[in-house]
Structure 1
Amino acid sequence: MSTFDAATARALLTRACADRGLPEPAAADLLAFGENAAFDLGDPAVVAKVGRGPAVAERAGRELAVSGWLAGQGIPVVRPYLPEPVLVDGHPVTFWHRLAPAVRPAGTADLAPLLRALHALPAPPFALAPRELLAPVDRWLASADGHVDPADVAFLRARRAEYRAAIAELVPELTPGVIHGDALPRNVHVGPDGPVLLDLETVSGDLREHDLVVLALSHDRYGVPAEDYRAFTEAYGWDVRDWPGFAVLRGARETASASWVAQQAPGNPAAQAEFTRRVGSLRDGTAARWYPF
């Protein structure tokens, strides 16, 4: 499996820009590196997202369509600069209008009203896939072959099967429908005109509880303060921890989150250590602190 690193992503971006007549992006700033590599092109005022490979190509195209539909529904969202992904060696590259500078960091109370509005929407005029939270686990783990303990990989694959079956049996409290899929304050930008929803690639049609479990897990694992979590639940109007299915979705998301780090492990000792920490805490059933990547 070919390595996807910052240098590879920049080379792919260069070819995508040339394909669409955009300036050579040698000075583009790398903003984030995860499932995508995000770059600020500077001039023009565009942010580009380079996907890790063909497996995320369909999702990239859907994200662009979702953005247009949500904007038409009155949800403030990031807007595309180009209407379709550019495919470079199978990697999707999407281009987005850069938002005005943030006036302050986004908080949990900024996220909750956006989710309430999103969760009140009807189904879009195109199909939304379910939130296949555990579907990429095998791909993420395979990308770390030779860089992480095979026993940890086997453990996560077994958990994936267990939780995938358990999710199918859940009875929701909320009416299923449109969800964001990765509902965190980091995916909200507070600009001069108010909060804007970002990173729409996991927008799905599924249990609304998916969106609420994300922040509950962030409180449990990533150090989100209790008062911030309380502000979120008060603004949304419900605490998902009161739902009988909470432990299942939380466990599934922990499994996915631990597996996600595996794709960062090749050549990254810090990611290898974090992967080991996460798997160890799942094995032991402890509430160990996890650290974001």
Structure 2
Amino acid sequence: MGADRALPPVRERRGLPAAPVPKLRDMTPFDEPLARTLLATACAAAGLPEPAGARLLALGENAVFELAGPAVVAKVGRGAELAGRAGQELAVARWLDGEGVPVVRPYLAGVWTADGHPVTFWHRLAPAVAPARPADLAPLLLALHRLPAPPFPLGRRDLLAPVDRWLAAAEGHVDPADAAFLRHRKEEFAAALDGLTPQLVPGVIHGDALPRNVHVGPDGPVLLDLETVSADLREHDLVVLALSQDRYGVPAEEYRAFTAGYGWDVRDWPGFAVLRGARETASASWVAQRVPGNPAAAAEFRRRVDSLRDGQTAVRWYPF
């Protein structure tokens, strides 16, 4: 198989070799009550007020809370394995701010821990003046992609590295054949990614370049969620939105506005199908960790896996 060719869909539900499943360090589910307990511990350690009135903004790899006071947003990591990434996000934010890229800024310099979970604190942004659109993302990516390497090392954007961890979190709650199917895809796409020939010069990327990671405030768009900033193919940042048009319903005219603002459409690149397939594999696996105790996540996981098995590239997926 050529490195820049799409991989064929794997349709069989059974018969794939079972990959070893990582053992979970802690079977306690990462949910809102646990995240609030961890937040209270971290706030006490950091000298911040008791976060009794904190508002949950998101629950995924992190639980993100808006504190009632001071003007702070806290990110509570799902597990201890995210501590290194949390520290790098703080360093990246300070560097980008110094380079003139509009980004969210740390409120406290370090990573705090609560029962091993990393917690970071950020300045709360002024209220949004408009919803973020793909066109708001394009100039931020251009500014990011024009930067030289930072004065500290960045790893590659390994989309597929967390797949085993996400699937392990769903052990006993998803069909083992589905987990084996996704692990098989992971291995195949990981091999194909290594052979891609980029069109753009590799360098600093955001790694999860979506409008949801942009805040449009009174001074313009600001880039958020810097955990996946990496040094890799710039095409990573462009495939995300192309996939969002196909899978998540981003209107064609908004995608065209994004490509016009950036100046290139990644769908014209021969490696697009491989990079897209890798991201779809990661996205389906990511939902697995939300399945325990969550019927909506189970339904979305089923939708994503079935469409991948059947090679249906236009089946609508829903954000989770």
Query: What band does the TM-score fall into relative to the shorter chain?
Result: over 0.9
CA distance, structure 2, for counterparts of residue 145 and residue 291 of structure 1? 22
5 Å matches for 1:165-244?
165-244=191-270
Q: Which residue of 2 aligns with 1:17?
A: 43
1:292 corresponds to 2:319? yes
Q: Which residue of 1 aligns with 2:63?
A: 37
5 Å matches for 1:64-75?
64-75=90-101
Letter in 2 for 1:168: D
How far is the alpha carbon of 1:89 from its aligned partner? 1.4
Q: Please point out which of 252, 265, 274 is paired with 2:300.
A: 274
How far is the alpha carbon of 1:276 from its aligned partner? 0.6
CA distance, structure 1, for counterparts of residue 85 and residue 263 of structure 2? 31
How far is the alpha carbon of 1:2 from its aligned partner? 2.2
1:46 corresponds to 2:92? no
RMSD of the TM alignment (CA)? 0.5
Q: Secondary structure at the match of 2:58?
A: strand
Percent identity of the aligned residues? 77
Letter in 2 for 1:292: P
**Highest relative contact order (Cα 8 Å, sep 6+), 1 or 2?**
2
Q: Which residue of 2 aligns with 1:90?
A: 116
How far is the alpha carbon of 1:20 from its aligned partner? 1.0
Q: Which residue of 2 aligns with 1:245?
A: 271
Letter in 2 for 1:87: T
TM, length-normalised to structure 2:
0.91
How far is the alpha carbon of 1:196 from its aligned partner? 0.4
Gaps of 5+ in 2: 1-26
How far is the alpha carbon of 1:198 from its aligned partner? 0.3
How far is the alpha carbon of 1:21 from its aligned partner? 1.2
Q: Which residue of 1 aligns with 2:10?
A: none
CA distance, structure 2, for counterparts of residue 60 and residue 32 of structure 1? 16
Q: Secondary structure at the match of 1:171?
A: coil
Q: Secondary structure at the match of 2:120?
A: strand
5 Å matches for 1:110-189?
110-189=136-215
How far is the alpha carbon of 1:26 from its aligned partner? 1.2
Q: Secondary structure at the match of 2:231?
A: strand
How far is the alpha carbon of 1:56 from its aligned partner? 0.8
CA distance, structure 2, for counterparts of residue 90 and residue 118 of structure 1? 32
Q: Which residue of 2 aligns with 1:60?
A: 86
CA distance, structure 2, for counterparts of residue 269 and residue 292 of structure 1? 15
How far is the alpha carbon of 1:102 from its aligned partner? 0.5
CA distance, structure 1, for counterparts of residue 102 and residue 230 of structure 2? 17
Letter in 1 for 2:315: A
Q: Deviations over 1:123-155 (max 9, x none)?
A: 000000000100000000000001111100000
CA distance, structure 2, for counterparts of residue 153 and residue 222 of structure 1? 23
Q: Which residue of 2 aligns with 1:109?
A: 135
Q: Secondary structure at the match of 1:59?
A: helix
CA distance, structure 2, for counterparts of residue 147 and residue 129 of structure 1? 32
TM, length-normalised to structure 1:
0.99
Gaps of 5+ in 1: none
CA distance, structure 2, for counterparts of residue 272 and residue 221 of structure 1? 18
Q: Which residue of 1 aligns with 2:16?
A: none
Q: Which residue of 2 aligns with 1:283?
A: 309
CA distance, structure 2, for counterparts of residue 215 and residue 248 of structure 1? 15
